[in-house]
Structure 1
Amino acid sequence: MRRTGSGSAPPYLRIVKEIERRIDSGALRPGDRVPSIRQAAARWGVATATAAKALDTLRRQGRVVAVPRVGTVVAEPAPASTPRSGAGAVTGRARRERRAAATGRNDERERVVRAAIVLADAQGFEAVSMRGIAVTLGMPTMSLYGLVRGKEELAALMADTVFGELELPRTPPAGWRAHLELAARLQWRLYLRHPWLPRLMSLTHPQPLPNLLRFGNWGMSPILGLGLDPETARIVWWAVANHVRGTATNLEAQRDAEQHTGLSPDQWYTAHLPSLHAALSTPTAPIDDRLGFDLTAFFEAGLRLLLDGAAVQIGRQHRT
């Protein structure tokens, strides 16, 4: 077992100083894992209580942070404090350094999010992992945790980033129905580009993502302008948005099925027509031999039905 020095400092402080030295020298970078309590006890030849005290000291000093299911990692450096006295140039330099550090961190986080989106587009959301992204970017896996706390936060950042791709027209179409049709089709095209996205959307637990809220406010604005009661306006918008999202949940499953079977939806229906004839055909409702399935056509048909119903409800409210 390795012991550090023979000075008069308490054993836990010797561990603290050694880990601090490695952080300050750059041997340990933000996001890198530091020895666990058990590892530190074995490495420095101390009791686990002593090792625990050393790590607790480093946590209280802000040098390390505990990450659930990962361990204790090096914390991001705290922003430089503004001097209470001295030349103004020093204060300005400190502010510029803080801004540069924040900008650099944001740029790195955006790289991580973009890499995750590319990975999800190619292989599905299940393929997204901190390790996979780290390999793609050539970064240590632990360093990612200094930029993103985990997959849950990463998923939210991915969703917000792709909703930011939507280009909302400055002058929307005239009429509530044309506006909702455009909103639904913009959302549908976004899901076509990113089939993993619908699974991250929730009607019951929506996340306050800036770009998602921007789209929702824009999409709902013509309904609110009709003078309906707020509850009816919300239900109309939620019904439209949920129709798009609900239909789009089939996109990722369709891609997986095509990869597994090697058949498109039309090819699948053609191959199974004999079974469909036997199970579903009746004299009054025969199965058409040209039967196929297209999700976009199904989405458009459902949207028409939904907006027809919304028009009836809106008309009733205007008459009362």
Structure 2
Amino acid sequence: MASKSDPPFRRIADEIARRITEGALAPGERVPSTRQIAREWGVALATATKALTVLRLEGLVEARPRIGTVVAAKEHAVPTENRPPSRRRSPTTASSENELTRERIVRVAVGIADGEGLAAVSMRTVAARLGVAAMSPYRYVNSKDDLVLLMADAVFGEKAYPVEPPDGWRVRLELGARTLWGIYRRHPWLAQVGSLTRPLMLPALMTHAEWALAALDGHGLDPTTMFDLHVLFYSYVQGIAVHLEREAQAEAATGLSEDQWMDRQTPAYEAIVAATRYPVFARIAGSLKHGYDLDLDTLFEFGLKSLLDGIALIIEPRCPTA
């Protein structure tokens, strides 16, 4: 049991642990997020993060990408009442056992972004998750902006291309597109980093650019056209991937899944279909027996084929054997 003399993060952790122990929060169920904790207990986000860190160290909760922090399986959890006070390690004590490095900071920051979104990442939050002093990460990373760039470079570098590329520009571009899509799929926040007009100068990202440009090289295209096609190709993948994170943000903000949200739009949708101002939309929508199921993976594949068909019209008249 926590006492009034315990720090706020410890009292919060004990209260959430009590809810887990008593069954109010079941295994696999989401526990309050850092923002929810901050609102409910009236504390700073850093304090909320420390509370969740304590629960993770004690095996009561675990982070799951794109879901958040959930109650751990019972076999991993140790009931609070059976845990002697001396075993309760503060975040600082627990993490001091591991040397702080830039790589660890980036890895933890990526984990936060994967589980809670890019907005949840801050230098203070990362420090709390690592269990170190708030200013400690600044010895290795100058600012949050620099940290985000390091995070992006790290995840763009998770996938490599074959030393011997496959034959044909189209097969190579397909591999490049699906490789990028897989990275965005694993790290949805990544599509929010950088803009098309202000490209990121990251070594790992340049690996993907080099792969795409090499696929386009040698087909009689002038340099400007090659860059235009590369930018179009990359922006297509990123443009679809942006909606992965936006959907996750919308679900976190509203508490509604995509299907639940669409169900609530039924009256507005039916009013639009019934109106006479949009005859083509109404006719097409009315012809869909089971509605339109928007699946980003399916849309990505459909759009990729269409994009490559368009590029073929530019390349193949110049190089019929490509």
Normalised to the residue count of structure 2, the TM-score between the two structures is 0.62
Q: Give CA-to-partner distance per residue, 1:143-201, whole Å, 9 cap, x none.
A: 21111000111111000000110121223232111111111111111111111101113
Amino-acid identity (%) = 43
Q: Distance in 2 between matches of 1:280 and 1:183?
A: 40
Matched, 1:296 2:289: no
SS at 1:232 equivalent:
helix
Matched, 1:258 2:259: no
Q: 1:150 aligns with which of 135, 143, 156?
A: 143
Of 239-248 and 202-211, the range deviating more from structure 2: 202-211
Paired residues of 1:220 and 1:237 also in contact (CA < 8 A): yes
Paired residues of 1:121 and 1:196 also in contact (CA < 8 A): yes
Paired residues of 1:130 and 1:151 also in contact (CA < 8 A): yes
Matched, 1:214 2:210: no
Q: Give CA-to-partner distance per residue, 1:223-260, whole Å, 9 cap, x none.
A: 01323111111111111110000111111111122234
Paired residues of 1:266 and 1:293 also in contact (CA < 8 A): no
Q: Distance in 1 between matches of 2:233 and 2:253?
A: 31
Q: Distance in 1 between matches of 2:166 and 2:126?
A: 40
- In the alignment, residue 206 of structure 1 is paired with which amino acid? P
Pairing of 1:122-271 with structure 2 (within 5 A)? 122-271=115-264
Q: Distance in 2 between matches of 1:120 and 1:246?
A: 19
Q: Could you say which residue in structure 1 is the equivalent of 2:47?
A: none
Q: Distance in 1 between matches of 2:113 and 2:126?
A: 10
Q: Give CA-to-partner distance per residue, 1:39-89, whole Å, 9 cap, x none.
A: xxxxxxxxxxxxxxxxxxxxxxxxxxxxxxxxxxxxxxxxxxxxxxxxxxx
- In the alignment, residue 193 of structure 1 is paired with which amino acid? R
Paired residues of 1:269 and 1:292 also in contact (CA < 8 A): no
Q: Could you say which residue in structure 2 is the equivalent of 1:121?
A: 114
Residue 270 of structure 1 deviates from its aligned partner by: 4.5
Normalised to the residue count of structure 1, the TM-score between the two structures is 0.62
**How many pairs does the alignment contain?**
214
Residue 299 of structure 1 deviates from its aligned partner by: 1.4
Of 281-290 and 250-259, the range deviating more from structure 2: 281-290
Bigger Rg, structure 1 or 2: 1
SS at 1:205 equivalent:
coil
Distance verdict in 2 for CA 1:317–1:203, change over 3 Å: farther
Q: Distance in 1 between matches of 2:253 and 2:293?
A: 19
Q: Distance in 2 between matches of 1:266 and 1:302?
A: 23
- In the alignment, residue 269 of structure 2 is paired with which amino acid? L
Matched, 1:312 2:309: no
- In the alignment, residue 310 of structure 1 is paired with which amino acid? I
**Unaligned stretches of 5+ in structure 1?**
1-105
SS at 2:135 equivalent:
helix
Pairing of 1:4-153 with structure 2 (within 5 A)? 108-153=101-146
- In the alignment, residue 217 of structure 2 is paired with which amino acid? L
Q: Could you say which residue in structure 2 is the equivalent of 1:40?
A: none
